[in-house]
């Protein structure tokens, strides 16, 4: 029931893999799953050496970056853009050493697939050409019907080529932990098919030097037909079967409860996991660990508790009963922590809104300082004092200073400051100025937490997720299945429910039947 | 039982007026009419207490179909039928009467169902209605002239 290609996480490298999707060598992946100790960036559990940081680019870093740029920034000149920090260097070197051992292994699958595909495509041509080469004189001449067959053969091969290119030659986007059954099946089918055709050809045509050339051409044409049908089968199995929705997946993020519902078709667990992750990067607001917990001041009050002494002589240490007694006592106590929580939330809200108001005003005012230079006022610029003409980057730097402080304060209040560095804000500002955006459009990015996709930095390492499931991951989705996708600091829990069967009935309403009357006087006897 | 004729104050305003006006209703103005007090004793029939007449009308009904009202926008409660030899007929209720009050409760601005409920309270044995009809007004007019 399993379909799908494996998607490898190294998207930039695999963009030039030409393999058809029929071929990924699963056995490699399967074997390597049991290997630990290598940090590889695909979907297996990785155990990293201690001392190495376990946080990768997606999880949040601590507050060790410079947050005070709001107070100290002035107009920044261009020198800082080209410097590479030490941090970047170590990151780049780590990337290099992680990706290089993988290259040849990753290409093994696509290359095999490509080879098989080309082999299958060239086989009919070989069938046609070999008799001509080997025993041309002995062949019976075959006129018009053969030429007709040549034409049809050529076009069918062209169609095969184009559709193979369209369907199968795509860069894979994810690496799955297990074999991809349908694809393996199709590969094996194609191989067996072509091999059996060759066998027959070798035994019946090459050996006895068959002279009926028209028969040979028809044989080649039948091979091409069969290949077209296999491709149709591949299309249906790999692409079409999962399009009709059959299940509803509920995806809940374990740390803060953000949830979504998605409709999917018949997929295997691993393929559904990939699909869910695609949607996750687009739909879920970015995970911000700073927004999670109740402040300690509220929670700590509960713990000032009772000490429980047991006066029994033969008290086996019932810790559970002790803790239960403590919890019961704490619950009975009247505590006002909900009150504090409520007021704290209200205060936080108010503060947020105030900072936001200041930010909006600052940004609006900053945007009024620049305007686009039109081509048709040279007169103005030549008469008055010549205004400096700036490119977008310089314009952004020029107007950034007045709004920097308000921006920084706002980001700090909404705990978003890890996601937006000064550089990124400048880049975004430059982008908005170039595209004539209003201040509100500029602020859209900071006012609400966007999807995780917005904060992705392109690096070839890919995102590492672990699929945790009680069932084997190549089994198909069914009702009541639960699996989870784990990252280092949060996880997504996915629950599967089938879509309800709909019984839709029909009721015909005659358009002439819409008639109305005044209400009658009703009469009641008392 | 026929009670004495009396001037009425239906609705909310109590305003006695010498001049009897039509039974039509002008919004915002107090309604005045000549009424008759009728006291009907309920008759037990099986497990029901019946009064012996039928009502029609109400603010949720269509006033244009009321055959007894003078003003076809009058949404008051009218007596549409009186059972012969029933308690209502004995008490002097006549078909076409407009019921203004029942036991002190106003009947000029009620829905049909509310009117039915006021008349069929199980714990009341007797209902005292204030009803009005055209002939009453004319009688008063003649007597004053």
Q: Model ipTM?
A: 0.71
Which residue in the block uniquely carries the two structure tokens 């035994």?
Answer: A203
Partners of B80 in the β-ladder: none
Question: Which DSSP category does A61 fall into?
Answer: P
Return the higher-pLDDT residue of A190 and A37.
A190
What is the enclosing helix (H) or strand (E) of A90? helix A86-99
Q: Do A526 and B56 touch (CB under 8 A)?
A: no
A240 or A57: which carries more pLDDT confidence? A240
The tokens 């629950």 sit on which residue?
A495
Q: What is the pLDDT of residues A164-176, one digit of tens each?
A: 888 777 777 777 7
Contacts of B116 in chain A (CB under 8 A): 524, 526
Q: Residue ranges of the domains in chain B?
A: 35-144
CB-based contact A1:A452 (threshold 8 Å)? no
Q: How far is A512 from chain B (nearest CA, A)?
A: 25
Report the C-alpha gap between A493 and A258 in whole angstroms: 11
Compute φ and ψ for A481, nearest 5 degrees: -75, 140
| Other C-beta atoms lying within 10 Å of the C-beta of residue A413 | 17
Give the per-residue pLDDT at A197: 92
Q: Is A377 an 8 Å CB contact of chain B?
A: no
With contacts defined as CB-CB under 8 Å, which chain A residues touch B103?
A: none
Check B56 against A520: CB less than 8 A apart: no
Among A317-331, A454-468, B26-40, the range with the most confident prediction by mean pLDDT is B26-40
Q: How far is B17 from chain A (nearest CA, A)?
A: 32
Min distance B15 CA to chain A CA atoms (Å): 31
Q: What is the CATH number of domain B35-144?
A: 2.30.42.10
Rounded to an integer, what distance in angstroms lies between the CA atom of residue B63 and that of residue A160? 80
pLDDT band at A117 (very low <50, low <70, confident <90, very high): confident
Chain B residue with Cα closest to A519: B62
pLDDT at A13: 38
Q: Does the structure show a pLDDT above 70 at A299?
A: no
Sort out which chain A residues have CB atoms less than 8 A from B49's CB and list them: none
Asked if residue A125 has pLDDT above 80, the reply is yes
User: Please, which pLDDT band fits residue B16 given cuts at 50, 70 and 90?
Assistant: very low
Least confident of A83-87, A254-258, B21-25: A83-87
Tokens representing A318 are: 């019932």
B116 interfacial to chain A (CB closer than 8 Å)? yes
Which residue of B57, B61, B119 is in closest CB contact with A526?
B119
pTM exceeding 0.80: no
Which of B49, B84, B45, B61 shows the shortest CA–CA distance to A523?
B61
Q: Taking a C-beta distance cutoff of 8 angstroms, is the pair A162, A2 a contact?
A: no
Q: What is the pLDDT of residues A364-396, one digit of tens each?
A: 999 988 888 777 665 555 555 567 788 889 889
Does the CB of B65 have a partner CB in chain A at under 8 Å? yes
Instruction: Please tell me which of the candidates A519, A525, A526 has its beta carbon nearest to residue B61.
Output: A519
> For residue A11, what are the contacts with CB-CB under 8 A and spacing of at least 6?
A171, A173, A460, A462
For residues A269 and A471, the answer to whether their CB atoms sit within 8 Å is: yes
Contact, A510 vs A270, CB < 8 A?
no
Residue-wise pLDDT for A403-453, tens only, equals: 999 999 999 988 888 888 889 999 999 999 999 999 999 999 888 888 888
Tokens representing residue A200 in the block: 């027959």
Q: Are A101 and A28 in contact (CB under 8 A)?
A: no
CA distance A248 to A245: 8
What is the torsional sign of CA A37, A39, A40, A42? Answer: positive
Q: What is the DSSP letter of A463?
A: -
d(CA A112, CA A109): 5
> Taking CA atoms, what residue in A is nearest to B44?
A526
């Amino acid at each position: 029931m399993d379909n799908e290609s494996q998607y490898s996480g190294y998207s930039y490298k695999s963009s030039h893999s030409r393999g058809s999707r029929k071929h990924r060598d699963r056995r490699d992946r399967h074997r390597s799953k049991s290997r630990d100790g290598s940090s590889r960036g695909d979907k297996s559990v990785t155990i990293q050496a201690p001392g190495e940081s376990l946080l990768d680019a997606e999880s949040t870093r601590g507050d060790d970056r410079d947050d005070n740029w709001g107070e100290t920034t002035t107009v920044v000149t261009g020198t800082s853009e080209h410097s590479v920090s030490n941090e970047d260097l170590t990151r780049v070197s780590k990337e290099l050493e992680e990706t290089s051992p993988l290259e040849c292994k990753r290409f093994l699958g696509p290359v095999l697939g490509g080879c098989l595909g080309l082999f299958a495509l060239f086989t009919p041509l070989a069938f046609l050409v070999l008799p001509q080469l080997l025993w041309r004189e002995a062949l019976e001449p075959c006129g018009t019907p053969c030429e007709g067959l040549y034409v049809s053969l050529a076009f069918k091969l062209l169609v095969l080529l184009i559709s193979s290119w369209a369907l199968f030659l795509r860069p894979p986007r994810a690496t799955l932990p297990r074999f991809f059954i349908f694809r393996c099946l199709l590969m094996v089918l194609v191989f067996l098919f072509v091999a059996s055709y060759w066998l027959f050809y070798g035994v019946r045509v090459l050996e006895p030097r068959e002279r009926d050339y028209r028969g040979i051409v028809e044989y080649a044409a039948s091979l091409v037909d069969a290949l077209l049908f296999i491709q149709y089968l591949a299309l249906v199995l790999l692409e079409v079967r999962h399009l009709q929705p059959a299940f509803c997946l509920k995806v809940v993020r374990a740390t803060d409860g953000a949830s979504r519902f998605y409709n999917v078709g018949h997929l295997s667990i691993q393929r559904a996991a990939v699909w869910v992750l695609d949607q996750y990067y687009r739909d879920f607001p970015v995970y911000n660990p700073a927004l999670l917990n109740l402040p300690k001041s509220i929670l700590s009050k509960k713990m000032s508790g009772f000490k429980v002494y047991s006066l029994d002589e033969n008290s086996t240490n019932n810790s559970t009963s002790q803790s239960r007694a403590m919890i019961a006592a704490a619950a009975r106590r009247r505590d006002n922590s909900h009150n504090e929580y409520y007021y704290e939330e209200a205060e936080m809200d108010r503060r947020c809104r105030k900072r936001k108001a200041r930010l909006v005003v600052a940004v609006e005012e900053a945007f009024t300082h620049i305007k686009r230079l039109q081509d048709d006022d040279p007169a103005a610029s030549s008469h008055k004092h010549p205004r400096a003409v700036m490119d977008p980057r310089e314009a952004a730097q020029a107007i950034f200073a007045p709004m920097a402080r308000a921006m920084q304060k706002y980001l700090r209040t909404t705990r978003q400051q890890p996601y937006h560095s000064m550089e990124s804000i400048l880049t975004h500002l430059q982008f908005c100025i170039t595209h004539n955006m209003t201040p509100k459009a500029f602020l859209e990015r900071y006012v609400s937490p966007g999807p995780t996709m917005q904060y992705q930095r392109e690096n070839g390492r890919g995102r590492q997720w672990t699929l945790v499931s009680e069932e084997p991951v190549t089994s198909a989705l069914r009702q009541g299945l639960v699996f989870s996708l784990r990252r280092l600091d949060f996880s997504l829990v996915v629950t599967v429910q089938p879509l309800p069967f709909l019984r839709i009935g029909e009721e015909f309403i005659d358009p002439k039947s819409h008639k109305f009357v005044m209400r009658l006087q009703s009469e009641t006897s008392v | 039982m026929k009670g004495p004729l009396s001037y009425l104050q239906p609705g909310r305003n109590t305003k006695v007026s010498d001049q009897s006006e039509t039974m039509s209703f002008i919004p915002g103005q107090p309604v005045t009419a000549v009424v008759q007090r009728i006291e009907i004793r309920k008759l037990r029939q099986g497990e029901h207490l019946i009064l012996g007449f039928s009502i029609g009308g109400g603010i949720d009904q269509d006033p244009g179909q009321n055959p007894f009202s003078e003003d076809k926008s009058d949404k008051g409660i009218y007596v549409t039928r009186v059972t012969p030899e029933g308690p209502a007929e004995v008490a002097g209720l006549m078909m076409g009467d407009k019921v203004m009050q029942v036991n002190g409760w106003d009947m000029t601005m009620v829905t049909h169902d509310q009117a039915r409920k006021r008349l069929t309270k199980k714990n009341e044995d007797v209902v005292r209605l204030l009803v009005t009809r055209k002939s009453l007004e004319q009688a008063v007019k003649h007597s004053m002239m």
